[in-house]
Amino acid sequence: MSQLLRVEGISKEFPGVKALDGVNFELDRGEVLALVGENGAGKSTLMKILSGIYSPDAGRIVIEDQEVDVTGPKAAQQLGISIIHQEMNLMPHLTVAQNIFIGREPRTGPWLRDAELNRRTKQLLDDLGVHLLPTQNVGNLTVASQQMVEIAKALSFEHTKILIMDEPTSAISISETQVLFRLIRSLRDRGVGIVYISHRMEELHQIADRVTVLRDGQYVGTRRMDDVTDDEIIAMMVGREISAAYDDRQEVRTGSADVVLSVRGLSTKNLLRDVSFDLHRGEILGFAGLMGAGRTETARAIIGADPMSAGTVTVEGRELHISGPNVAVKHGIGYLPEDRKRHGLMLEQDVTFNVAMASLSANKTPLGFLREGRARRVADSFIKSLRIKTPSNRTNVKTLSGGNQQKVVIAKWLARNCDVLIFDEPTRGIDVGAKEEIYKLIKQLADDGKAVIMISSELPEVLRLSHRIVVMSQGRVTGTLSPDKADQESIMKLATQNIEEVAA
Amino acid sequence: MTTQRTDEDLADAGTQSPPGESVAAAGARTGRFAGLGQGLQQMLAFGTLIALVIIFFIASPNFLTISNLSSILLSTAVIGILAVGTTFVIITGGIDLSLGTAMTLCSVVTGLLLANAGLPLPVGVLGGIAMGALVGLINGFNVAILGLPPFIATLSMMLVAQGLALVLSGVRPIYFNDVPGFSRIALGEIIPKVPNAVLILFLLALVAGIILRKTILGRMTYAIGSNEEATRLSGINTRRWTLAIYTLAGVATGVAGVVLAARLNSAQPQLGVGYELQAIAAVIIGGTSLLGGRGSILGTIIGALIMSVLINGLRILAIQTEWQTVVVGMVVLIAVFADNLRKRRAEGGAHK
């Protein structure tokens, strides 16, 4: 193998922050290099330097033994570097072909040659073994297929030699991930060098040849994937050992008297069919399944964020008609959404503002004046008890890390004193170290008698925390497992159970 | 972070743009320097205003006279009242294009009640304000309950209100010559040298400021503008609050209608179009973000003052009306550009 890309001593400073400090790595032709590090470790900054969005303060970038200066995204493309960003940059109303060749449409004078465009796209997709029609609208594709389009687009530039992928699997299901991996392997076999950024350990073992670890903007080291264990990588990332405390779940009484939330026959117009389960006091009920299995939809239907077409929700023995989240909150059900930034937080507002959001009615005078002092004291008490790392309760939540933002959302519901907490992907996009704290917190909440629903796509986390695991597939509950009898395989079997024929 | 902010603030001062962001946002962002940031923002806005005053004072001795200042304030009153009301709507991320013609409709209703029906003064005043509240309520209903985009909902209302004002008045001005004391609502001076219209503006601004900063209604205004879905998922009935906010803005529109009628001693059904854009411009110059979530009443008042000082000063310098409009347009452009610039910088460095 020959060397494709070498990065030497790259440093980049922002006002007050040293984002990168002398970072090195090398990428060979036909290699998948995993780049890992906690949030804020400098991965994104490094990628932005390689794609020409930032210019480095110091250091060299060498491509095929030539020192290069990446002056901008266009220059990066010409040097053969393509990046697939975490947020996709596709135009949903255009077709696959139009997206791939945007700005480079084959044309005669001012006239577009659509037939040629579609022919070239088809050839490209066939080459990659991607089964998509060039004329499909991108907006109608699944996230995973959109990712394929992004990859095809990146590779449609003739000289693409280096492909950088920023958390490509964060929004796609396990089976779709396998398709993506096949594509990555075939690219690798063709000599493309791939930098693969991810948080998910199990993926790295599947796909990466080597792993480079960054911490606090500094280069920690590079290991061959075959010679390193997950714990070693995590230790490199966080700079200390993390001991995972397994199996200290408290006993939960599952008598009918302890049922806090009971759902029967819940259905929605589009997806859910006859979803039923009971949630007990002090229980952590895990919800596993593939993307689109209906877990988030179940949560949203329970709290009334989306309408249900059939079924009942019973809280503390009383059957309720929950017409909206405001009614759910009145009955002590809090939902912590999957997409914290879009659905959980006011990013432009401070910690106190966010913590107070769900409990404002308790924090105002009869005339509607806010008790600002009390709200700040409440926020301070949660900053202390949940160990939220923030300079003060007046700090803008946008500046906090993912883990601390999640704690602010948790504090919001604790301030409201909810009995039922529905966590949707509680650790998505959160550092390894902070994950442990969130786990501890969820466990503590259950031990204190709260009833917890935990929706998660990370099976190890479901297996580790749950008292029982509900598995969903295609809008139905396909099984309820106890964690000592469940493992990843048995969950996956239920999660991939095809019930389309039955449904039809 | 703090140093960077200061630079940005100075850059703002350089482009003579008023305070870019609200007290809350400034406070939220700077953490423990909140107090300092907040003071600085407001001082800069005020500084811009003072700078304009000084420039015009040097250019013309007629500018800084008691009677001229009083006329500047009087000309700020109506736009200012509209702007204060619509600040709430804009902070929620909405927009209200019906302000101007709805205000005219309120004037006409007051005219019908007082001049034509001969009802007592308070009935006419409250009737005009109630009309404004009704228009606001309907706007709120269309936006919050029917889910129409604010731009479309209020554009339709703008036309409806204009048509109604013309129909109700028979396309003729209604004069208040036979209504004793009506014009005193705007032109009387409870405080010597200060027209009542100005007093009304400042009292209204004070109340609006308190509502925005200190009450749950204000908190909901910022919350909905920051992230409506997150607000809803926090268990808040966002529809009801949106309805209340538009209604509140409608009340301000009604007050503006009454004040305008009193100032002109007549209800002019042809007037009104264009007022909404001036009010929105004042809000934007005052640093309220059109994207929602950020803004302040103090900024809006300063924005409105900057506009009327500019227009008055240019007029005293005998610059054509048409050119005055061009200048105001450019000021709005600069204000929005400066706001964008700050946002981009805050989000982290471009290629340098």
Q: Does A265 touch chain B (CB under 8 A)?
A: no
Residue among A335, A395, A412 minimizing CB distance to B31: A395
* Residue numbers in B near A367 (CB within 8 A): 215
Among candidates B4, B215, B294 on the partner chain, residue whose Cβ is nearest the Cβ of A368: B215
pLDDT > 90? residue B342? no
**Residue whose entry in the numeric block shows the structure tokens 């005053």:** B53
Helix (H, G, I), strand (E, B) or coil at B94: coil
Query: Taking CB atoms and an 8 Å cutoff, what residues of chain B touch A69?
Result: none
Token pair for A471? 């598995």
For residue B177, the model assigns a pLDDT of 92
SS3 assignment for A306-345: CCCCEEEEEECCEEECCCCHHHHHHCCEEEECCCHHHHHC
On whether the CB atoms of residues B240 and A331 are closer than 8 A, the answer is no
pLDDT of residue B29: 37
Residue A412: its pLDDT value, please? Answer: 93
* Contact criterion met (CB below 8 Å) for A481 and A475: no
Each residue of B292-304: pLDDT tens digit?
A: 888 899 999 999 9
User: Chain A residues with CB inside 8 Å of B8's CB?
Assistant: none
**B74 exposed, middle or buried (CB, 10 Å; 0-12, 13-18, 19+)?**
buried
Question: Which of B210, B215, B234 to mutate to test binding with chain A, by most A CBs within 10 Å of its CB?
Answer: B234
Contact B29 A396 (CB under 8 A): yes
Q: Which residue in B has a C-alpha nearest to residue A334's C-alpha?
A: B234
What per-residue confidence (pLDDT) applies to A39? 66
Q: Measured between CB atoms, does A325 come within 8 Å of chain B? A: yes
Domains of chain A in start order, with CATH, are: 1-80+160-240 (3.40.50.300), 89-158 (no CATH), 259-503 (3.40.50.300)
Enter the tokens of residue B171.
């396309």
With CB atoms and an 8 Å threshold, state whether A392 touches B4: no
Best probe of the B interface among A349, A364, A413, by most B CBs < 10 A, is A349
Torsion of CA A76, A78, A84, A90, to 10 degrees: 120
Distance CA B13, CA B6 (A): 11
Nearest to A348 among B232, B234, B293 (CB): B293
In DSSP terms, which residues pair with A214 in a beta bridge?
A219
Q: Is the CB of B32 inside 8 Å of chain A's CB atoms? A: yes
Q: Which chain A residues are Cβ-neighbours of B222 within 8 angstroms? A: 346, 349, 353
Q: Which residue has the tokens 């020959």?
A: A2
- pLDDT recorded at residue B36: 36
Q: B317 versus B106: which is more confidently predicted?
A: B106
DSSP per-residue codes, A144-181: HHHHHHHHHHHHHSTT--EEEEESTTTTS-HHHHHHHH
With pLDDT > 90 as the criterion, what percentage of chain B qualifies?
61
Distance CA A328, CA B281 (A): 40
Q: Where does the pLDDT of residue B97 fall: very low under 50, low under 70, confident under 90, or very high at 90 and above?
A: very high
Is B231–A357 a contact, with Cβ atoms under 8 angstroms apart?
A: yes
What residue type is assigned to position A426 of the chain? P
Beta strands in A29-85 (DSSP E): 32-36, 58-63, 66-68, 81-84
Residues in chain A within 8 Å Cβ distance of B233: 303, 305, 325, 335, 337, 343-344
* pLDDT, position A247: 54
Q: Would you state the pLDDT for residue A261?
A: 94
Give the ipTM: 0.75
Interchain pair A343, B34: CB under 8 A: no
pLDDT of res. B42: 53
Contact B226 A347 (CB under 8 A): yes
Q: Which two tokens stand for residue A216?
A: 């606090």
Dihedral angle sign, alpha carbons of residues A336, A340, A344, A345: positive
Are the CB atoms for A123 and A101 separated by under 8 Å? no
Answer whether B34 touches A (CB < 8 Å).
yes
Rg (CA), chain B: 20
Q: Cα separation of A267 and A474, whole Å?
A: 12
Contact (CB<8Å) B215/A367 = yes
Q: In DSSP terms, which residues pair with A454 in a beta bridge?
A: A286, A423
| Nearest CA distance, B285 vs chain A (angstrom) | 20
**Which pLDDT score, from 0 to 100, does residue B196 have?**
95
Query: By CA distance, what is B291's nearest residue in A?
Result: A348
- C-beta atoms of A16 and B3 within 8 A: yes
Q: Is A395 on the interface with B (CB under 8 A)?
A: yes
Comparing CA positions, the residue from B298, B342, B141, B40 lying closest to residue A348 is B342
Contact B4 A348 (CB under 8 A): no
> Which residue is associated with the tokens 């109303």?
A93
Four-CA torsion A350, A355, A356, A357, nearest 10 degrees: 90
Q: What is the mean pLDDT of residues B254-263?
A: 97
Bin B69: left if φ > 0, else alpha if -120 < ψ < 50, else beta: alpha
All structural domains of chain B, each given as residue ranges with its CATH number in brackets, are 63-346 (1.10.3470)
CB contact under 8 A, B235 and A15: no
A470 membership: H or E segment, kind and range:
strand A468-473
Using the Cβ of A346 and the Cβ atoms of chain B, whether some distance falls under 8 Å is answered with yes
For chain B, give the percent of residues with pLDDT over 70.
84
Residue A139, pLDDT score = 85
pLDDT of B7 over the 70 cut: no
User: Which of A296, A346, A412 to probe by mutation at the B interface, max B CB count within 10 Å?
Assistant: A346
**What is the number of CB-based contacts under 8 A between chain A and chain B?**
123
Q: What is the pLDDT at residue A182?
A: 87
Q: Is B216's Cβ below 8 Å from some Cβ in A? A: yes
A364 interface with B at CB cutoff 8 Å: yes
Q: Which residues of B touch A396 (CB under 8 A)?
A: 28-29, 31
Query: Coil, helix or strand for A370?
Result: strand
The side-by-side arrangement of strands in the sheet containing A275-280 is A275-280, A259-267, A310-315, A318-320
Judged by CB atoms closer than 8 Å, whether chains meet at A325 and B232 is answered as: yes
Does any CB of chain B come closer than 8 Å to the CB of residue A329?
yes
B230·A328 Cβ contact <8 A: no
Chain A: closest CA distance from residue B224 (Å): 9
**Distance set, CA A311 to CA A259, A317, A436, B100, B163 (Å):** 17, 15, 36, 49, 49
pLDDT of residue B43: 61
Asked if residue B234 lies in contact with residue A326, where contact means CB atoms within 8 angstroms, the answer is no
pLDDT at B211: 94
Task: Give the bridge partners for A284, in sequence order.
Answer: A452
> Which region, left, alpha or beta, applies to residue B272 given φ > 0 means left and ψ of -120 to 50 means alpha?
left
Instruction: Tell me which residue of B269, B304, B246, B264 sits closest to B81, measured CA to CA.
Output: B304
More confident residue, A335 or B37: A335
* Res B352 pLDDT > 70: no
Q: Do A348 and B234 touch (CB under 8 A)?
A: no
Torsion angle, CA of A466/A471/A475/A476, rounded to 10 degrees?
-120
* Partner-chain residue, chosen from B236, B294, B352, that has the shortest CB–CB distance to A326: B236
Say whether A221 sits in a helix, a strand or coil.
strand
Q: What is the chain A residue with the closest CA to B220?
A: A357
CB-CB contact of A46 with A20 (8 Å): yes
Cβ within 8 Å, pair B232-A394: no
Residues A16, B4: C-beta atoms closer than 8 Å: yes
Mean pLDDT for each 10-residue chunk of chain A (504 residues)?
86 79 91 84 85 89 90 86 80 90 85 91 87 89 84 83 85 76 88 86 87 88 89 78 54 74 92 93 91 89 93 92 92 91 88 92 87 92 89 89 89 91 88 83 90 89 90 91 82 73 41
User: E strands, A90-129, where?
Assistant: 107-108, 111-112
Give SS3 for B62. coil
Instruction: Tell whether B224 is within 8 A of chain A (Cβ).
Output: no
A358/B216 CB distance under 8 A: no
Residue B242 confidence (pLDDT): 96
Round to whole Å and give the CA distance between A128 and A136: 17
Collect all residues of chain A within an 8 Å Cβ-Cβ radius of residue B28: 348-350, 353, 394-396
Q: Catalogue the E-assigned strands of A203-337.
A: 210-215, 218-224, 259-267, 275-280, 284-289, 310-315, 318-320, 333-336
What are the two backbone dihedrals, phi and then psi, of residue B197, each rounded to the nearest 5 degrees? -55, -40
From chain B, pick out residues whose CB is under 8 angstroms from the CB of A14.
348-349
Assign A12 to helix, strand or coil: strand
Assess A303–B contact: CB distance below 8 Å, yes or no: yes
Beta bridge partners of B71: none
Contacting residues of A for B294, CB less than 8 Å apart: 348
Closest chain B residue to A361 measured between Cα atoms? B216
CA distances from A159 to A124, A162, A163, B81 (A): 14, 9, 11, 61
User: What type of residue is B203?
Assistant: L
